[in-house]
Amino acid sequence: MVLDSGGAPRREAEIGPGELAWSFNHLDPAVAETAYETMGRIRRGCPVARSGELDGFVLVTGYDEIREAAQASDRFSAYVDGLGAAAVVTEMREAVAPMFETDDDHHHQWRRTLMDFFTPAAAAAQDQYVRAICRETLQEMIPRGAADLVSGYTRQVPPLVIGRMLGLAELERAWLSEHVRALYSAETLLEAQQIGRVYADFLLGQIRERRARPGRDLLSCMVAAEVDGRIANEEELVKMTMLMVAAGHLTTADACATAVLQLLENPALRERVTALPVLLEPFVEELVRHEPAVAATGRTVTTHTHLGGLTLEPGDRLLLAWGSANRDERRFDDGDVFRLDRDRSRTPHLGWGSGEHRCLGRHLARVELRVMLDELLRAIPDFQLQPHATVRRTFGVIRGVATLPVQWSRR
């Protein structure tokens, strides 16, 4: 919040883009409702600007500037302290997660090692499993006539899918699903720390089990991978697994919730995709452009350089606001508008990232989102927001919706 010299808050319209950027903190819950309006004003004035929040960082909101920073790994490292994706894993701050937080050849080797689990064919092979758990979840829900679709549906399915990829048995998947939901909705730091410790111990047990008895799953592959002549230690593996679980479920769960909200707010669009489910494919892609679930991640400057006219020094931290890039008026016409028929061939959106760390799970995410929405629209075609329900958007590393209290006619 910006105050005038007398200490009174000023309206956003009275504040210049540089000043708006200076007080911008993507983790402040107050940012969520107007995140894109605020970032739009900042972007049009200064697409690379300094913020004084969170010990100081550089907010990058322009398309070209974000793409440049994501692609120039010789100037910008994926390792960043306290900003971006790894900040969702507070339990293991000291360890460096292989792949996610590493650069260059070390990073390439890791990606190549895991690639087979993330091909379009591997993603398509999850279709039936995703469909089965969607149906099971919805069948239990239907007789109730009302539910919060976030806790009851969008956050139920993705943890089971990533758990299965990691090679967890059915009961362990259910355990994981329950604990990550509790962890990421904990109301106090103490509660989060307690759940975090139990969760880290669980993952450590799984890692040790895979070392002793390797399977053909993603976790066994991570545990056995030899990169630069060594295998990752237990601390690195726990952090990497936590990030993999977070990448694999927070994103898809929140993207699905945002998609449902988009359908609730846009009845004509909802009618079109319900009548013609094949349209869910372009719908998901436009959703990831318009409101990418990964809203902002970080980089660290490694050499004296410039970006968008700003001089940067080693150690400066950048925040790449992917969703703002996707609305940059220099690249997209009416970027703020959700358009199912948008021509995507001219400018690729950056909702899946760009450069060497571009989303490894994008094919899987597309399958999960398409199937989750398809099954929901088939099972409960008439769901509506409950009267007087308030819907609160969230923003931070991840963009989503806190709750979606809906009701439908009981059959």
Binding mask 76-105 for ligand HEM (x = CB under 6 A): ---------x-------------xx-----
- Residue number of the CB closest to ligand HEM reads 361
The answer to whether 328 touches 62, Cβ cutoff 8 Å, is yes
3-class state of residue 258 by DSSP? helix
**Cβ distance to ligand HEM smaller for residue 199 or 352:** 352
Q: Report the alpha-carbon distance of residue 322 to residue 63 in Å, rounded.
A: 8
Binds ligand HEM (CB under 6 A): choice among 360, 372, 376, 397: 360
Stretch that binds ligand HEM, among 27-35, 167-175, 176-184, 358-366 (CB under 6 A): 358-366
Per the listing, tokens 């943890």 go with 159
**Cβ distance to ligand HEM smaller for residue 210 or 299:** 299
Q: Is the dihedral of CA 52, 54, 58, 62 positive or negative?
A: negative
Q: Report the alpha-carbon distance of residue 259 to residue 285 in Å, rounded.
A: 11
- Strand (E) or helix (H) holding 405: strand 405-407
Q: Does 153 bind ligand HEM (CB under 6 A)?
A: no
Per the listing, tokens 């971006």 go with 84
In the beta sheet, which residues pair with residue 275?
Answer: none
Best CA proximity match to 69, nearest among 246, 320, 312, 315: 320
The answer to whether 375 touches 156, Cβ cutoff 8 Å, is no
Burial class (CB in 10 A: 0-12, 13-18, 19+), 234: middle
Q: Does 244 bind ligand HEM (CB under 6 A)?
A: yes
In the beta sheet, which residues pair with residue 310?
Answer: 307
Binds ligand HEM (CB under 6 A): choice among 62, 167, 196, 361: 361
**Cβ distance to ligand HEM smaller for residue 17 or 351:** 351
**Cβ distance to ligand HEM smaller for residue 19 or 217:** 217
Q: Does 292 bind ligand HEM (CB under 6 A)?
A: yes
Q: Does 318 bind ligand HEM (CB under 6 A)?
A: no
Stretch that binds ligand HEM, among 42-50, 233-241, 264-272, 348-356 (CB under 6 A): 348-356
Q: Does 367 bind ligand HEM (CB under 6 A)?
A: no
Please, what is the minimum distance in Å from the beta carbon of residue 248 to ligand HEM?
Answer: 3
Site for ligand HEM in 99-138 (CB under 6 A): 99-100, 111
Q: Does 293 bind ligand HEM (CB under 6 A)?
A: yes
Phi, psi of 375 (to 5 degrees): -65, -40
Binds ligand HEM (CB under 6 A): choice among 147, 223, 263, 294: 294
Q: Report the alpha-carbon distance of residue 78 to residue 238 in Å, rounded.
A: 19
The answer to whether 296 touches 84, Cβ cutoff 8 Å, is yes
**Cβ distance to ligand HEM smaller for residue 247 or 280:** 247
Q: Report the alpha-carbon distance of residue 145 to residue 407 in Å, rounded.
A: 6
Phi, psi of 16 (to 5 degrees): -75, 160
Please, what is the minimum distance in Å from the beta carbon of residue 289 to ligand HEM?
Answer: 10
* Binding footprint of ligand HEM, residue count (CB under 6 A): 27
Q: Does 150 bind ligand HEM (CB under 6 A)?
A: no
User: Which residues make up the interface to ligand HEM (CB under 6 A)?
Assistant: 70, 85, 99-100, 111, 162, 244, 247-248, 251-252, 255, 288, 292-294, 297, 322, 351-353, 357, 359-361, 364-365
